[in-house]
């Protein structure tokens, strides 16, 4: 009730002030443009003109406003209106659903909403469109709002978004931007846009906007396909997209491509500086196709999170970064794609791409790959960011995922970095080269594009060592601890190791990693052979400092494991057993495990039962004494070791230059 009253008061205030706000915005625009023109005539510098241009570009916000939906949210919202019972892309109903949606678009009549409408609505997609309508109405309508739609693998999804934009009267102010980042999405993306442009309502929308927006995602594409294959797939999507301009006569339409990627090679950031990064995102071949089709386009990219903010850390650094970006954007790449043999020999380049993609596909779908990643998960690192590691809600004592797709791109990369093998960048490169070594040798030194991809792989190799990767996996091997116990002379430590082996045997992490590891070794050996042994390694980089970080951390984890084996038993509680708490510790989920243990074994006695009970008592039970020993010798030690493990995780981050 209190929230309703606050919202009602806010709404009434917004309505009261809105007419004057709109008039004032118009007056400010007119005055600023006039002052800027006068300053230019008087030769007083460009400051006012730049400010006026920024206002025209961004409106009265500090930047462009982006919202994000996924396809499922849109489908759920529109489902009743089109009687949708199956996937909108199911072959048996695809045309019927598109036809029904076309009829909705043809007959839609805009509706008005207020903040009460927003509070009553329970459908996520409709609530978002209502919120955008209110922002445009009461906050700022001088700049468009970008609506990013994830998993836009079918025209139906984009048309559903257009329907709601028209329903709420905001289609002229909303840039509907489908996101293509999965294998299927990138493969079908250009066809989706092609079909949309054949649809009259979407074509009319694009004509009014004079702009067509798409987004690609290097991070997620790299997780699904491997980063090198993802880069090639996104390039292929761009080329196919560019070829649509002539077919649909889009000479008066601007193409906006928003490329999202992170700050590591695994998420699409080329390591050779800003210029190389721009060339990797918008390749020479894609530029050539855009020029050939005379496409007006705007290239957008992201500098994400704290890692990305480093580029803008100081005013001088921000100016240098922007200057380098603008220089590359204006001058273009230094290489010419026309003579690149990687593009001329299309049979070889396609086979190379498919081999890379198939290798990563086999890896991520291998049932043993997921347990390899989720043994420790991101628990070797301090928490970062606001998004959960898993894409779905987490239930139960121990986090579970059933497929790699449920792990977000940043933690997926972070786990590989922390375990010492950047598999989603390195994986498949050796296999792809070895498959046709003669063709590779023929184009290797003459292809700027292939050299660009090789630079990504060589950079990833600097921070990768399969022996380190196997070292972390071995910690979960019950047999390893039994061998360790056999060599241990101290009886107590030997008993703890055997007890630890039993705990590990009952955990799901104890799987056969051999198939995945063998594939990685074969691939890495092929890469070493193809590059004449000239592949960087972790042992050679930075005086073996990164190797030492991993060795120290492996030793600390072993010590934590042995302390976990000493946790005293306690009476089972509802939905909680000693085995579950120990498993949390062995997965380095230490913060949650210690919170439980310190509640079960408090350091101080129960003060609530002190006082006189009419007669003396000489018996002092455990609860009367507290559990100072367990807290000091076990829990506090585990906490200190875990903190050191996470500090070493930060050392890995700083060596690599990115968190995930």
CATH number at residue 81: 3.20.20
Provide, rounded to the nearest whole percent, the portion of the chain with pLDDT above 90.
Answer: 55
Of 315, 229, 316, the C-alpha closest to 266 is 229
Let me know whether 30 and 75 are in one domain.
no
Check: CB of residue 92 under 8 Å from CB of residue 86: yes
Mean pLDDT of 476-491: 93
Let me know whether 365 and 424 are in one domain.
yes
Tokens at residue 14, please? Answer: 């917004």
- Residue 435 within a domain: yes
Task: Give the pLDDT of residue 464.
Answer: 94
Rounded CA separation 570/303 (Å):
49
Band of the pLDDT at 115, cuts 50, 70, 90?
confident
Task: Give the pLDDT of residue 511.
Answer: 65
- Residue 206 within a domain: yes
Band of the pLDDT at 653, cuts 50, 70, 90?
very high
Let me know whether 47 and 76 are in one domain.
no
Tokens at residue 522, please? Answer: 């074969």
Let me know whether 242 and 352 are in one domain.
no
Task: Give the pLDDT of residue 479.
Answer: 93
Q: State the chain's mean pLDDT as an integer.
A: 87
Q: Residue 363 pLDDT more than 90?
A: yes
Task: Give the pLDDT of residue 18.
Answer: 66
Better-predicted residue by pLDDT, 415 or 406: 415
Provide, rounded to the nearest whole percent, the portion of the chain with pLDDT above 70.
Answer: 92
Let me know whether 414 and 503 are in one domain.
yes
Rounded CA separation 166/115 (Å):
19
Among 511, 536, 561, the domain boundary falls at 536
Task: Give the pLDDT of residue 398.
Answer: 42
Q: How far is CA 194 from the centre of its chain?
A: 27
Q: Residue 399 pLDDT more than 60?
A: no
- Residue 18 within a domain: no
Mean pLDDT of 422-448: 93
- What is the largest distance, in Å, between two alpha-carbon atoms of the chain? 99
- Residue 111 within a domain: yes
Check: CB of residue 170 under 8 Å from CB of residue 108: no
Exposed e or buried b per residue across 596-633, where buried means at least 16 C-beta atoms within 10 angstroms of its C-beta: bbbebbbeebeeeeeeeeeeeeeeeeeeeeebeebbee
Let me know whether 354 and 303 are in one domain.
no
Let me know whether 466 and 335 are in one domain.
no
- Residue 621 within a domain: no
Instruction: Kindly report, residue by residue over 521-561, the tens digit of the pLDDT.
Output: 999 999 999 887 788 888 776 668 999 999 999 999 999 99
Task: Give the pLDDT of residue 352.
Answer: 95
Tally the C-alpha atoms within 13 A of residue 253's C-alpha that lie toward its C-beta: 23
Q: How many domains does the chain have?
A: 3
Band of the pLDDT at 567, cuts 50, 70, 90?
very high
Band of the pLDDT at 400, cuts 50, 70, 90?
low
Rounded CA separation 500/380 (Å):
20
Q: Which residue range(s) make up the domain with 46? A: 26-58
Mean pLDDT of 260-268: 87
Among 306, 339, 372, the domain boundary falls at 339
Rounded CA separation 360/133 (Å):
42
Let me know whether 245 and 332 are in one domain.
yes
Task: Give the pLDDT of residue 392.
Answer: 43
Among 339, 361, 386, the domain boundary falls at 339
- Residue 207 within a domain: yes
Mean pLDDT of 27-34: 80
Let me know whether 272 and 393 are in one domain.
no
Exposed e or buried b per residue across 228-240, where buried means at least 16 C-beta atoms within 10 angstroms of its C-beta: bbbbbbbbbbbbb
Better-predicted residue by pLDDT, 261 or 358: 358
Let me know whether 288 and 407 are in one domain.
no
Rounded CA separation 499/505 (Å):
10
227-242 vs 346-365: helix axis angle to the nearest 10? 130
Task: Give the pLDDT of residue 196.
Answer: 96
Check: CB of residue 232 under 8 Å from CB of residue 280: no
pTM: 0.89
Band of the pLDDT at 234, cuts 50, 70, 90?
very high
Show the beta-strand stretches assigned E in 396-542: none
Let me know whether 165 and 206 are in one domain.
yes
Mean pLDDT of 78-91: 86
Band of the pLDDT at 502, cuts 50, 70, 90?
very high
Let me know whether 48 and 150 are in one domain.
no
Task: Give the pLDDT of residue 611.
Answer: 59
- Residue 2 within a domain: no
Check: CB of residue 588 under 8 Å from CB of residue 645: yes
Exposed e or buried b per residue across 428-455, where buried means at least 16 C-beta atoms within 10 angstroms of its C-beta: bbbbbbbebeebbeebbeebbbbebbbb
User: E strand or H helix at 479, and its extent?
Assistant: helix 478-487
- Residue 615 within a domain: no
DSSP bridge pairs for 147: 67, 176
Helix and strand numbers, DSSP H then E, in the chain: 34, 6
466-474 vs 545-564: helix axis angle to the nearest 10? 10
Q: Residue 10 pLDDT more than 90?
A: no
Residue whose entry in the numeric block shows the structure tokens 């970008």? 146
Of 120, 145, 149, 123, the C-alpha closest to 135 is 145
């Amino acid at each position: 009730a209190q929230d309703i009253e606050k919202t009602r008061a806010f709404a009434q205030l917004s309505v009261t002030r809105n007419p004057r706000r709109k008039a004032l915005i118009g007056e400010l625009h007119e005055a600023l443009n006039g002052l800027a023109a006068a300053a230019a005539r008087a030769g007083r510098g460009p400051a006012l003109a730049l400010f006026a241009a920024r206002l025209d570009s961004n409106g009265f916000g500090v930047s462009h406003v982006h919202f994000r939906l996924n396809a499922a949210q849109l489908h759920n919202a529109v489902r009743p209106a089109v009687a949708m019972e199956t996937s909108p892309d199911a072959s048996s109903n695809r045309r019927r659903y598109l036809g029904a949606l076309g009829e909705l678009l043809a007959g839609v009549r805009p509706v008005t909403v207020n903040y009460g409408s927003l509070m009553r609505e329970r459908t996520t997609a409709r609530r978002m469109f209502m919120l955008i309508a209110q922002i445009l109405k009461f906050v700022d309508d001088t700049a468009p709002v970008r609506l990013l739609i994830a998993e836009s693998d079918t025209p139906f999804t984009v048309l559903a978004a257009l329907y709601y934009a028209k329903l709420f009267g905001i289609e002229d102010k909303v840039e509907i931007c489908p996101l293509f980042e999965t294998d299927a999405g990138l493969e079908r993306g250009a066809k989706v846009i092609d079909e949309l442009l054949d649809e009259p309502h979407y074509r009319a929308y694009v004509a009014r906007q004079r702009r067509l927006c798409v987004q690609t995602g290097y991070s997620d594409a790299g997780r699904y396909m491997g980063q090198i294959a993802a880069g090639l797939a996104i390039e292929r999507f761009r080329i196919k997209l560019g070829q649509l301009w002539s077919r649909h006569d889009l000479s008066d339409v601007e193409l906006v491509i928003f490329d999202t990627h992170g700050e590591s090679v695994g998420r699409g950031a080329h390591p050779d500086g800003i210029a190389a990064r721009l060339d990797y995102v918008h390749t020479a071949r894609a530029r050539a196709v855009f020029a050939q089709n005379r496409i007006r386009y705007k290239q957008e990219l992201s500098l994400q999170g704290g890692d990305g903010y480093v580029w803008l850390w100081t005013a001088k650094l921000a100016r240098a970064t922007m200057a380098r970006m603008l220089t590359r954007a204006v001058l273009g790449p230094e290489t010419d794609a026309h003579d690149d043999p990687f593009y001329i020999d299309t049979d070889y380049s396609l086979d190379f791409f498919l081999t890379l993609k198939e290798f990563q596909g086999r890896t991520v779908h291998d049932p043993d790959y997921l347990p390899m990643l989720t043994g420790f998960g991101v628990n070797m690192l301090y928490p970062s960011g606001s998004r959960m590691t898993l894409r779905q809600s987490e239930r139960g004592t121990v986090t579970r995922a059933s497929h790699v797709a449920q792990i977000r791109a940043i933690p997926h990369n972070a786990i590989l970095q922390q375990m010492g093998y950047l598999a989603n960048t390195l994986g498949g490169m050796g296999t792809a080269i070895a498959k046709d070594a003669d063709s590779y040798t023929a184009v290797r030194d003459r292809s700027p594009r292939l050299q660009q991809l090789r630079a990504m792989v060589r950079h990833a190799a600097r921070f990768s060592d399969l022996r380190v990767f196997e070292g972390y996996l071995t910690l979960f091997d019950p047999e390893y601890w039994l061998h360790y116990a056999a060599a241990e002379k101290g009886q107590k430590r030997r008993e703890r190791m055997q007890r630890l082996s039993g705990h590990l045997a009952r955990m799901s992490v104890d799987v056969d990693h051999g198939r995945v590891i063998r594939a990685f070794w074969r691939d890495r050996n092929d890469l070493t052979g193809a590059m004449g042994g000239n592949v960087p390694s972790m042992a050679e980089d930075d005086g073996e400092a990164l190797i030492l970080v991993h060795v120290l951390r492996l030793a600390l984890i072993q010590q934590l494991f042995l302390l976990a084996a000493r946790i005293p038993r306690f009476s089972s509680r509802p939905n909680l057993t000693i085995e579950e708490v120990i498993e949390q510790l062995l997965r380095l989920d230490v913060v949650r495990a210690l919170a439980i243990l310190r509640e079960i074994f408090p350091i101080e006695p129960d003060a609530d039962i002190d006082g006189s009970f009419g007669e003396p008592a000489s018996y002092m039970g455990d609860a009367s004494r507290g559990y100072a020993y367990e807290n000091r010798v076990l829990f506090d030690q585990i906490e200190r070791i875990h903190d050191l493990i996470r500090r070493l995780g930060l050392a890995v981050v700083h060596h690599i230059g990115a968190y995930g």
